[in-house]
Structures are given as C-alpha cells and as structure tokens.
Amino acid sequence: MIEIRTFEETAAELSDFVVGVWRRSYEGKMPVPLWSGDFLERELLLDGNDRPYVVAAYDGARLVACHPGRPIEIRLHSEPIGASLGSFLSVDPDYRRQGIARKMQVEFARRHRERGDRVNFGYLYFRSAKSMGKNFWLKQPEGVVPVRRVGHWVRAFDHRAVAQWELWRFERWGSRALSLLQRPITPPRDTSGIHPYQPEDLPACVELVQQAGQSADIAYVWDATNLDRQLHYKDLARTIVLEHDGRVAGLVNYCRFDVLGKTTMATALVDLIAFGTLPRTERKRLLRAAMAQMVEEGLKAAMLLRGSSYAWRTLAGVGFFPIPSEYYYTGVKMHKDVRLENDHRLHVLWR
C-alpha cells in the first residue's frame, strides 16, 4: 500500500535516492545533476522542522518516490505572492506506472491551497526525448503554464575536461574550438576591494539583489534571512564581493555542482550576480576574480541561467557563451487567477 506523506529522512538520504533514480533513468542519455546532501538541505530547508512541500511516497518504510519543494515569496508583476519552488521529482523505476507521481502532485496542490500559496515554479528539460518530466507535467489536466524557454551561459575553464564530459558531438567540437581562442583564467592584477562575503556585508547584498530583480516580471523576494543562507551555507556556497568606499557594490554567488555526462565534471553553478551601478571594467574585474577562485578550487566550468542576469555584455566579455534553450521555466497555478502569460524577464534560480 503506497502512502503519501512528508519526507522523514535526512538530506543525505534524499540525495542518495534522487541521484540514484536519475542515474538509473538518464545516465548516458542526458546530463544528470548530482545534487549533494548539503545542496538539498539548503534548498529544501531540511535542517529545520517545517517541510510543508517535501512530499514523498512510501511502501511501508521504503521510500519509493519524492516530490520536493520549498515555500518562497515572489514578485509577480510587482505583486508579492506566496509560491513554491519545486524540483527533483523522482519515482523509483520499480514503482512507475502506478500513478504515484500524480498522487504526490494532488497532495502537493492540496498543501498549497491550505497554506494560501498560489503557484509552484520549476523546470522542464525538453532537449532530450528521454526526459520524462515534460511528458508528466504537460499532460496535467490544468494549471501548467510553460512561462518561457531558458538556457545557460557557460564558461569552460578546462576545455579538454569539458569536451570529454560532453554527450553530444557538436558540443565536443565547440569545446575543442574554444580552447584555441580562450586564454587560461587568471586573477585580475588589481584585487583591491575584492574579498569573500562576510556577515557584515549582508545589508548591502540584500539591497543589491533586490535592485537586480526590480525590473523582472517574476522575481524571488530576498530578505536578510534567506539571502544569507544563499550566500554562505556550510562548505557549499561561495560569494565574492567588490567593495567601493567601504560598502559592497557588487557580488558573485556560486556553489560547487557536480554533473554527470560521459564523465563527472565539477562545475560552478552561478546563482546570483548583482553589479549595482558598477562600471563595466569593475564588473569584469569582479567576475575574473570569482572565476580565478573557481579554477583554484578545481572546477572545470561555470554555468549561469540565461535570462536571470541582464549583464550579457559583461558575461560575453569574460568568455561566457550562450547555450541554446533546453528548459521551460514552468508555473503550476494553484489558483486560476494567477497570470503567468507574457512573463519574459526573470530573476530566479535554476534548480
């Protein structure tokens, strides 16, 4: 008898389950994110007691599926509303075709209505026909809206490692070609004012990130508590700031993210960039310092969601290339009055 209830175990156990299911389903067919326990703990608030959207399915004591999410506040067309971020949906291959994912979604939606949260956001990978997510979500009876297509900016640091990792021939050729054009990453000659994030930097960082999302149609609302958790959490997150006149004027936030292709590649997942009013030369100096640190940590490439940062000239100027869209950024409406059409400008995270 399958029972749908709140996930009870640790973040490390959830990581083992999700990564195990995704590897069994997709290894060799499409890139597989190897989400760590610390990453899932931070994202899903699993170090606390409240897990309203971490829904799971059990066969007795055995975990057989999960539909995890976390509550967030967003600004939708400047209106603050309660919402959730959902990702990592996984069903044990031995338990598929029993309607378990649909049962979890029914419970997921019920909890949204109970709490008054109006929409759930996530991503659908559409590049590979092997991806099961789009088939499940786009066949839901109502409420699912593909808001827009998104891809990534990518900057290779070790082009050979990236080429060996690539699953598709065209990208392998591209990585090898870029190795002939791009120089190795080196720190900027002038590192004055650049330093790792410190707790006393938080008020200025909140102001910068809020400013970065002001013009977006859909933007996460960052307060001091959730931004501090994003900027540094255990040994997961890294944030580099640039200080002018004694105050933080720009930041780059990233975390280590291992992804499986033909090999496993250590990647920097860049979540937040906020440049405020910095001139382009200072933006590039901050980005170069952040990338030099990534290289020093042994990371082979950096990736950043396209459409979540509008400093494309700066990104291109330090060697980032836009990758064609591979995802739908998708909203699942829990209330019919939520309007998600014609939302093009996003200030969100990729999960």
Q: Helix 11-26 vs helix 37-44: angle between axes, to the nearest 10 degrees?
A: 110
- Calculate mean pLDDT across residues 290-302: 97
Q: Please give the Cα distance from 38 to 228 (Å, whole number).
A: 15
∠ CA 70-75-80 to the nearest 5 degrees?
A: 85
pLDDT confidence band for 132 (50 / 70 / 90): confident
Q: Is the pLDDT of residue 62 over 90?
A: yes
Residue 241, pLDDT score: 98
Give the whole-angstrom CA distance, residue 94 versus residue 2.
13
Supply the pLDDT for residue 153: 94
Helix (H/G/I), strand (E/B), else coil: 178: helix
Q: Output the pLDDT for position 115.
A: 95
Residue 310 — very low, low, confident or very high, per pLDDT cuts 50/70/90? low
By 3-state DSSP, what share of the chain in percent is helix, strand and coil, each rounded to 5? 30, 30, 35
Q: What integer is the mean pLDDT of 120-131?
A: 87
Structure-model confidence comparison of residues 50 and 53, the more confident one: 53
In the chain, the amino acid numbered 186 is T
Q: What is the mean pLDDT of residues 27-48?
A: 94
What's the Rg (C-alpha) of the chain? 20
Mean pLDDT of the chain: 92
Q: Say how many CA atoms lie within 13 Å of 229 toward its Cβ.
A: 15
What structural domains and CATH numbers belong to the chain? 2-149+327-336 (3.40.630.30), 153-322 (3.40.630.30)
Structural contact between residues 132 and 25, judged by C-beta atoms closer than 8 angstroms: yes
Q: Say if CB 120 and CB 69 are below 8 A apart.
A: yes
- Cβ-based burial of 87 (10 A; exposed 0-12, middle 13-18, buried ≥19): buried
> If you search the block for the tokens 């509303």, which residue do you land on?
81
Long-range own/partner contacts, residues 95-101 (CB < 8 A, 24 or more apart): 95/2, 95/57, 95/59, 95/64, 95/65, 98/2, 100/2, 100/57, 100/64, 100/65, 101/65, 101/67, 101/136
What tokens does 111 get? 């909890």
Poorest-confidence range of 103-112, 179-188, 211-220, 282-291?
Answer: 179-188
Task: Give the burial class of 12: count Cβ atoms within 10 A of its Cβ; 0-12 exposed, 13-18 middle, 19 or more buried.
Answer: middle
pLDDT of 172? 82
Q: Please, which contacts does 315-318 make with residues 24 or more away whose CB atoms are closer than 8 Å?
A: 315/153, 315/155, 315/287, 317/280, 317/284, 318/155, 318/284, 318/287, 318/288, 318/291
Question: What is the pLDDT at residue 73?
Answer: 95
Model confidence at 234: pLDDT above 90: yes
**pLDDT score for 141:** 64
pTM for this predicted structure: 0.92
Q: What average pLDDT does range 45-57 have in this prediction? A: 93
Residue 6 has phi, psi (to 5 degrees) of -70, 135
Contacts of 20 (CB under 8 A, 6+ apart): none
Could you write out the DSSP letters of every residue in 69-110? EEEEEEEETTEEEEEEEE---EE-GGG-SSSHHHHHHHHHHH
- Predicted pLDDT at 337: 86
Which of the two residues, 145 and 195, has the higher pLDDT score? 195
List, edge to edge, every strand of the sheet that includes 2-6: 2-6, 55-59, 62-67, 90-91
Angle (deg, nearest 10), helices 202-212 and 224-231: 100
Given a cut of 80, whether residue 140 has pLDDT beyond it is no
Predicted confidence at residue 308, as pLDDT, reads: 67
- Least confident segment among 169-173, 296-300, 316-320, 322-326: 169-173
Instruction: Report CA-CA distances (Å) from 64 to 1, 4, 53, 104, 332.
Output: 11, 10, 17, 11, 23
In terms of pLDDT, which residue wins out, 141 or 157?
157
Q: How confident is the model at residue 309 (pLDDT cuts 50, 70, 90)?
A: low
